[in-house]
A and B are shown apart, each in its own frame.
Chain A
């Protein structure tokens, strides 16, 4: 079906949801009309440039601002020492996962020591961007270098400390071990065991729009308007109040058009706090726009874990226990949710499988690298990778096909709602259905036959087929659950729906889209219930003055929490409108039905009143039921009762050149189940983009540091964000198993693609390599790494032959 604009004709309730409505966001973005932070021009605006550390770790001996201050156009320059008393509180970490978690003091400008290359040591403000940059380059800083700490196991040894004052590099150890005795017993009794170590390399999120912030002070009124390329305007406002001491009532945060985030803009950054403080001091607007090479070191990075996973299974390959030990790389400091990322995966190492015994433990260490934090999937891709790679290893151990081992272990349909050993309750799931559909699209048997033929013929181009069945928890989150995990805030979402006097509708949401299409989708949700056209609905978001409450956008939460809030607020407004309509029609409210934007009396359809007329009546308030307040507006603060649990199966087909180690992704099949779909066009887009971020982790991307802590991949020349030429088109499909815990039956889809794809691709590559004796490979699977693995395996085989 091709998308048309005519597929959204309003009518009875339910006519809009599930249609492929084109996005209302697109025309301004397609024509250059949309404004990103860097596009907002103000006269009299100053430009901020930062002087970043040139050593990964060291003591600051001196900062000489003299040469910079005398340069043309320079207005002011500050060292960390100059501003050390300017902060009302240090940089925030909102997730102290344990009571004894260690966290170093983190200030926007470093004062005594630097702990990674993104640490800023001085700030320069000038009349133009070029002048600010030139002056920043003229600042002279002397360091006494300290040893870099870049290997996690080395960090754990405390041989060199990142933060001397903490006395150790370990930040915390967090455990989830409901029944350790059962786990040990299962391993003791196991017919098969698998023990694996996987490395989650660090990734650079690489949103195409780098970060940026513009602060407009109103010096006489004492207010500040902050434009930021952020996913979290609401959280940012609170954190700016806490860190600058400016009252929350004097801060307004706006996220204008934001060019992608993927978690990297789910944070509170030094530059945002600094720009507010400098705008306050200098009483002029201040703008900072990140350069790409700055983004590589100063914006959070993703992943960074060493995973040890052990499976125990019975003789039929049925898993009896899973044991996980993580070593997680926090980087130099704890950013907003850094310590919590491994916890988001902790509940998912049992994957889509019915596992009776489980234990998990994570130790986190500081290193002298960029802080890690949430990157698309945040903890869940890591967990899925480990279990989906390990279960392939178990299939090899047991001697069955990877598909068969999954079938033997799936949580079966009749087991839902399913209480997992990790403590979650999955509402719905049909794991075998998604698997079957994916196998069918792939033509699985045909692929295996072709693979066997090529193996037999000893062809240079070998096929690899990789399967990954995943489930995830999203819709972050029930506030009480977050509380039990020591997260500082809740996971609710706010929505307000207003019927305006002219019959148009405003939807105000606390979510903050940056590419996801909420304007289109939220209008569809409200329109569907109001039986109106989405064209008559405006969606307001990402401005704390216009949408005062919100928990923002991350963790595939926007639809299952924010979208559901919109639905509930719409229903509230309709309820009130129905009362007014009943009053006007002199009928009983329960006798009215809402169709085509009008209330009609059941059985006498000529007795009707349009919603628009009801809205005007509510506005004029001349003739409302006794005691009723004027206007049609309703707000909802929705706290979800549970997470939602999307699932699916992905299949990757790769072609391996056995001479060069080069791998080409030939086909990619994804069957995802995100429950009911508001707009399948948007769902597919989210899946496509997600797939590529996971494929890229498997095949190309890695933030690589040298032993001195220098980032070797600080530009887009060295850090390999894939281009169109390296990828195929995707074969996507869905199954629809509605969630039972929200009124829309939705689950969220922003991260599913990334969660499913890295293991599918790696399983395919290892599958292609298996005839050569290679049983494992780390990401990214570069040609060199593959070639070496093949050479090593053949050398080992030869040595064994000779022995």
Chain B
């Protein structure tokens, strides 16, 4: 089946198997390997990307279901400089092995787009779908709160 979608501002078209998961499409067809896979039950959030600005676990969706959408992956977030959320993670040691990080950053960016000044509790609740085994979340939460203070967090680039 043919899919046509915009990824990180570029129109991408491809012939895919109907059962191909979006995460495999991004990683294997487009070569965007920043989006990671941590589970097979939609539990971990390592594969989180933004679709039309909303965070979505890209392992829960088929590539063909994403036809016509606009997707931002971790590769599309930084320009010359890091995106403020990425910068906040760096400043606050919000990552260790970095495997959960792309998904965590995307989830945090979408959380802040919806809720520019969340409380600690709101950040913790908002990141419930993203697991990290390294950081104990302490510095992740700190990073997201810091990013919220680094006003303004631009909405992640969605191709216009």
Binding site for B on A (CB under 8 A): 2-3, 22-23, 25-27, 29-36, 38-39, 41, 129-130, 206-210, 257-260, 262, 291-293, 514-517, 681-682, 684-685, 688-693, 715-717, 721, 723-725, 727, 729-730, 753
Is B39's CB under 8 angstroms from A32's CB?
no
Is B134's CB under 8 angstroms from A515's CB?
yes
Interface of B is mostly: loop
Binding site for A on B (CB under 8 A): 17, 19, 24, 27-28, 31-41, 43-44, 46, 73-75, 77-78, 82, 86, 89-93, 95-102, 105, 120, 123-125, 127-142
| A685→B39 CA distance, assembly (Å) | 24
Chain A residues near B125: list those with CB within 8 A: 725
Chain B residues near A725: list those with CB within 8 A: 124-125, 127-128
With beta carbons under 8 angstroms apart, the residue of A29, A292, A753 that contacts B95 is A29
With beta carbons under 8 angstroms apart, the residue of A33, A36, A727 that contacts B99 is A36
Is B129's CB under 8 angstroms from A723's CB?
yes
| A605→B142 CA distance, assembly (Å) | 46
Is B98's CB under 8 angstroms from A259's CB?
yes
Known A32-B32, A729-B138; judge A2-B82 contact (CB<8 A). no
Closest to A29 in B: B98
Interface of A is mostly: loop
| A409→B52 CA distance, assembly (Å) | 61
| A169→B101 CA distance, assembly (Å) | 43
Known A3-B93, A208-B38; judge A716-B43 contact (CB<8 A). yes
Q: Smallest CB–CB gap between B79 and chain A, Å?
A: 11
Chain A residues near B142: list those with CB within 8 A: 729
| A685→B91 CA distance, assembly (Å) | 13
Chain B residues near A516: list those with CB within 8 A: 96
Closest to A687 in B: B136
Chain A residues near B32: list those with CB within 8 A: 32
| A688→B136 CA distance, assembly (Å) | 5
Known A688-B135, A689-B96, A729-B138; judge A292-B39 contact (CB<8 A). yes
Chain B residues near A724: list those with CB within 8 A: 123-124, 127-128, 130, 132, 137, 140-141
Is A689's CB under 8 angstroms from B92's CB?
no
Q: Smallest CB–CB gap between B22 and chain A, Å?
A: 14
Is B105's CB under 8 angstroms from A716's CB?
no
Closest to B19 in A: A130
Chain B residues near A26: list those with CB within 8 A: 89-90, 95, 98
Closest to B20 in A: A130
Is A23's CB under 8 angstroms from B90's CB?
yes
Chain B residues near A259: list those with CB within 8 A: 36, 97-100
Is B34's CB under 8 angstroms from A257's CB?
no
Chain A residues near B139: list those with CB within 8 A: 684-685, 688
Chain B residues near A210: list those with CB within 8 A: 38
Is B128's CB under 8 angstroms from A32's CB?
no
Q: Smallest CB–CB gap between A718 and chain B, Å?
A: 9
Is B33's CB under 8 angstroms from A260's CB?
no
| A517→B134 CA distance, assembly (Å) | 12
| A259→B37 CA distance, assembly (Å) | 11
With beta carbons under 8 angstroms apart, the residue of A292, A515, A688, A727 that contacts B98 is A515
Is B93's CB under 8 angstroms from A260's CB?
no
| A100→B74 CA distance, assembly (Å) | 54
| A38→B128 CA distance, assembly (Å) | 25
Closest to A715 in B: B41
Known A681-B93, A724-B124, A724-B137; judge A715-B37 contact (CB<8 A). no
- The 5 nearest A-B residue pairs measured at CB: A32-B34, A259-B99, A29-B98, A515-B97, A716-B43
| A35→B33 CA distance, assembly (Å) | 8
Is B82's CB under 8 angstroms from A31's CB?
yes
